[in-house]
Structure 1
Amino acid sequence: MDRNRHASITEVPFRATAGAPPGAEVLALAALANRARGHDVDAYSPMRPAFHHLIAVRSGRLTCSVDFTDHAVTDGDWLWVRPGQILQFRSGLTTTEGTVVLFQPGFLGAAATGAARVDRPALRTEPLHPPEAAQDVLQRTLDLLESEYGRLAELPLEMHIEVVRHLLSVLLLRLAHLQHGQDEESGSDSDAFRRFQQAVERDFARTHRVEDYARQLGYSVRTLTRATRVAAGCGAKRFIDDRVLLEAKRLLVHTTLTASAVGERLGFPDPTVFTKFFRSRTGETPAAFRLRAKGTAS
Structure 2
Amino acid sequence: MTEITDVAYRPGVNAPIGMDVIDFAELRSRARRRGIDLAGPQRPDFHHLIHVHADAPALAHTVDFTQHVIPPGGYLWVRPGQVHQYGALSRSRGTIVIWRPGFVTVDPPTPQSPVLPGPSAREPVDLALRHLLADYADLGSMTLEAHNSTLRMLLSVLLVRLAHAGPEPPPSTPADGPFERFRAAVERGFTRTHRVADYAADLGYSTRTLTRATLAATGRSAKSYLDARIVLEAKRLLVHTDRASADVARHLGFASASDFSKFFRRHDGRTPLAFRAEARGTRGPHGSGASSSR
Measured in 2, the distance between the counterparts of 1:221 and 1:162 equals 39
Alignment correspondent of 1:244: 230
Alignment correspondent of 1:29: 24
Alignment correspondent of 1:150: 137
CA 1:150–1:215 in 2, change beyond 3 Å: closer, same or farther?
closer
Q: Is 1:73–1:127's contact at 8 Å kept on the other side of the alignment?
A: no
Alignment correspondent of 2:160: 173
Scaled by the length of structure 2, the TM-score of the pair is: 0.80
Q: Is 2:39–2:86's contact at 8 Å kept on the other side of the alignment?
A: yes
1:1-298 equivalences under 5 Å are 10-59=5-54, 60-91=57-88, 93-106=89-102, 108=103, 112-113=104-105, 116-117=106-107, 124-129=111-116, 134-177=121-164, 181-184=169-172, 191-294=177-280
Q: Which moved more, 1:55-64 or 1:124-133?
A: 124-133
| Alignment gaps of 5+ in structure 1 | 1-7
- Aligned-residue Cα RMSD (Å) equals 3.1
Measured in 2, the distance between the counterparts of 1:104 and 1:189 equals 16
Measured in 2, the distance between the counterparts of 1:220 and 1:105 equals 28
> How big is each residue's C-alpha offset from its partner over 1:194-214, in whole Å with a ceiling of 9 and x where there is no partner?
332233222222222233334
Q: Is 2:215–2:222's contact at 8 Å kept on the other side of the alignment?
A: yes
Moved over 6 A (4+): 187-190
Measured in 1, the distance between the counterparts of 2:58 and 2:201 equals 47
* SS of equivalent to 1:94: helix
> How big is each residue's C-alpha offset from its partner over 1:33-57, in whole Å with a ceiling of 9 and x where there is no partner?
2232233222222111122111122
Q: Give the Å deviation of 1:189.
A: 8.6
Q: Is 2:46–2:101's contact at 8 Å kept on the other side of the alignment?
A: yes
> How big is each residue's C-alpha offset from its partner over 1:64-93, in whole Å with a ceiling of 9 and x where there is no partner?
1111211111133221112211010122x2
Q: Give the Å deviation of 1:231.
A: 1.3
Measured in 2, the distance between the counterparts of 1:144 and 1:188 equals 27
Measured in 1, the distance between the counterparts of 2:20 and 2:29 equals 14
| Alignment gaps of 5+ in structure 2 | 283-294
Measured in 1, the distance between the counterparts of 2:37 and 2:75 equals 23
Q: Which moved more, 1:215-224 or 1:39-48?
A: 215-224
Measured in 2, the distance between the counterparts of 1:220 and 1:16 equals 41
Q: Is 1:188–1:227's contact at 8 Å kept on the other side of the alignment?
A: no
Measured in 1, the distance between the counterparts of 2:278 and 2:229 equals 21
Alignment correspondent of 1:5: none
Q: Give the Å deviation of 1:17.
A: 3.0
